[in-house]
Amino acid sequence: MIAHQTTIPDVLVFEPKVFGDARGFFYESFNENVFAEATGLRPRFVQDNHSKSARNVLRGLHYQIQQPQGKLVRVTQGAVFDVAVDLRSNSPTFGRWVGEILSDENKKMLWVPEGFAHGFVVLSDTAEFLYKTTDFYAPQHERCIAWNDPTIKIDWPIQEMPALSSKDSAGTSFVEAEKF
């Protein structure tokens, strides 16, 4: 795997080395030593999640104010535009966002550290999204920032109103959101 920095230094894109031939392909989707070398971290992943969503579904921007989750995310079918927003109030990149297209074709993974809100929108007919987390899901601590917050100004690559859950439709503004 090769790690690439984004405009937010703590958020990294991992690009695996893919070995393929007429039979199919193989790649290493996680290697603790490579991850540690790139991030300086050896996280303990405690939960794996898998979702499937239709085109134009937007999930997020989610975070947990207690039991914050670091997430290593990837797409195994389809394509999404994946976003991380820095909520660490003492960070030089506080309030900034970074986005990356993740797909079954490019096989890229995004590391979203603790202290970030996370979301994605589906760009293909459907997409299967997998992610490892460093802490357990804690719905009592989960918060949501509005996907279209005017302070953050995420440039989502969509032309129409996305499909949102009721939870995501009720997201708060960045200004009102609890920060780290």
Tell me the two tokens of residue 167: 């939870």
User: 4, 131, 137, 141: which one is catalytic?
Assistant: 131
Tell me the two tokens of residue 149: 């917050």
User: 4, 50, 62, 141: which one is catalytic?
Assistant: 62
Task: Report the DSSP pairing between strands 71-77 and 126-133.
Answer: antiparallel
Q: In what order do the strands lie in the sheet with 58-64?
A: 97-103, 79-86, 116-122, 58-64, 142-144
131 is catalytic: yes
4 is catalytic: no
Q: Active-site positions?
A: 62, 131
